[in-house]
Amino acid sequence: MKTKLVTLALLLTGAVGFAQSADEAVKKACAAETANFDKRDLTAVVAGYADVPYASRYWPNNAHNGATAIRAAYTTYVASAPQPTPMTREQSNWQLRPLGETYYWATYDQASTGADGKKSHSKEVRLLEKIGGQWKMVSVVTLPMPAPE
């Protein structure tokens, strides 16, 4: 009985460690997607998405379905606004849920402050898929909200 309890304790400890490390990896992938966009690093932004036909990106002013359409949209945007956007971003209120071993659901608030001091706030939703050991964006939803005072 003691051996079974020790084994169970070790398994639970490993599961908690996996969840914590996966949580951190997902947060890092989400933050990198935003930072790379702000830097206008098209290669890094596109590399952060899963290269799959079911990928999606939804913003208030447009929506794109499929990795090809997402790549094209980012390429067009960076060509029209190639200068990096100096922003300070802060993500908070994370809600993270593993969906099996290969998918992760993440929601969070994002507070942004531009170089001019202008503030904005958004609700962010991400679905990530683990591909080749890396968490990749499968679906990105950004919902602007009134900036908190």
pLDDT tens digits for range 1-33: 566 544 544 444 444 444 569 999 999 999 999
User: 25: which 2 tokens?
Assistant: 């990896």
Q: Across residues 67-87, what is the average pLDDT?
A: 94
Verdict on whether the full-model pTM lies above 0.85: no
In the chain, where the domains are located = 2-145
What is the DSSP code (8-state) at residue 20?
Answer: H
pLDDT of 44 above 50: yes
User: Under CATH, to which class is 2-145 assigned?
Assistant: alpha beta
Give the length of the chain.
149
Higher pLDDT: 81 or 4? It is 81
Q: What is the b/e burial string over 4-29, where b = at least 16 CB atoms within 10 angstroms of the residue's CB?
A: eeeeeeeeeeeeeeeeeebbebbbeb
pLDDT of 88 above 90: yes
Q: What is the pLDDT of residue 146?
A: 85
